[in-house]
Every structure is written in structure tokens, then in C-alpha cells.
Amino acid sequence: MQKAGIPTYGIPTIYKNYKFRSRLEAKWAMFFDLLGWKYEYEPCDLKGWIPDFVLIGAKTNTLVEIKPFTKYEDFDVDKLKQSLIKTELESSEILLLGLRPLIELIIGEDIIAPHLGWILEPWTYDGNIKYIDSACVFNYYDKKWGFWSQYGSWVDRITGLHDGDHLLEIPNHDAIQSLWARAVNLSQWNA
């Protein structure tokens, strides 16, 4: 099956004793390692969805779905949300990652920030869980990489830091592109 002209099958790739279902998943695992993030691969089985990763943060964990997409609209967001209903993970955030980090995102009138992908952040309203979806912006503070939601909570999901505003520290685009290039290069030799 294809979506947006890109095959959805993958080349199984071994990295750190994990056999990833696709090279794209392995690239993201290598990227997470370069960023210094802790994660688990395929942490659980849900109704109709096996999250590719869970990112382990200082205060919260974030489920991750990876697909070879470049647009938010290509993800089956409803399926992911439905898989969490009436489970212990019902109030979990979901991070959507595509073919690569998306380098430019305009925040406000004049701030351009690199972003990781998109995040679905749960909010309880009238006893029901609703999701806010927004871009997921990189953070770099005190030599630690993290990310936060453009429209939801501005707490860094990895470090737990929050500065009272949404601009902790936005890293430059070149640093992210360089780290991603390293992950891509590493993955080429791990089939």
C-alpha cells in the first residue's frame, strides 16, 4: 500500500540489538540516541496500534508513531486516539514523526523554529478526553535536547523544564540537520 507516492514497507534494520521493522524507525532511534533521549521500542500492544516507541521524559512519557510521511494529514490520527480509549494509556500524548525532522516552522509573527513533528496532547474537558494537535518544537537548554508543543503545554517533554513562556531555547537549524545526517549515515550500514 502506498500513500503520497512513498512505499509503506521497510527494510528491517538491526541497531543496539533491536530488530526494527524499518530503516526509518532505526534512523529515529539513532537520532534519539544522538539527542540523548531515553526510549523503549514497541513498548506495548494496543487495540489496533503498536506504538513504535515511547520516549521517557523527566515528568511524562510520550508514545511515538513513525510513518514515511511529510504532512500531518497523512497520519490516521483517529485510529491512534481510538486505540487509547479505556486503556491505562488513555491520557497519553502521541508524537507523530515522519521522514525526517521538519526544519522550519513559523511561530508568531517572526520566529522560525525547527520542529520534530506533530504532537497530540490530551486535555480533559467535561469529563472527556480531547486532543490538541500542534507542531512539536525542538528545545535546547543547558546542553540538553527536548521538545514542547507549539499550542498546548510548553513544558519540555524530555527535561521537564518550563520557563513560564513557550520559548525555552530554540536551537539553530544546522545543529538538527547535522544530527539527523549522522543518524541517516549510521543507519545505512545497519541493514
pLDDT in tens, 107-145: 556 566 788 999 999 988 888 888 889 888 888 888 899
What pLDDT is recorded for position 50? 96
What pLDDT is recorded for position 69? 92
How would residue 166 be classed by pLDDT, with cut points 50, 70 and 90?
A: low
- How far is the C-alpha of 183 from the C-alpha of 70, rounded, in Å? 18
Give residue for cell 521497510.
Answer: 10
Amino acid at 19: K
What pLDDT is recorded for position 2? 47
How would residue 7 be classed by pLDDT, with cut points 50, 70 and 90?
A: low
What pLDDT is recorded for position 6? 54
Amino acid at 11: I
Of 39-53, 67-81, 126-140, least confident by mean pLDDT is 126-140
What pLDDT is recorded for position 105? 60
Amino acid at 81: K
Q: What is the enclosing helix (H) or strand (E) of 33? A: helix 23-35
Is the pLDDT reported for residue 61 higher than 90?
yes
Q: What does DSSP assign to residue 56?
A: E
3-state secondary structure of 109: coil
**Helical ranges in 85-189 per DSSP H:** 173-187
Closest of 150, 83, 76 to residue 111, by C-alpha: 150
CA–centroid distance for 166 within its chain? 18
What pLDDT is recorded for position 129? 85
- Nine-digit cell string for 92: 497519553
Give residue for cell 506533530.
Answer: 118
Q: Report the pLDDT averaged over residues 5-17.
A: 77
**Within the chain, what is the greatest distance between any pair of CA atoms?**
51
Q: Report the pLDDT averaged over residues 34-60.
A: 95
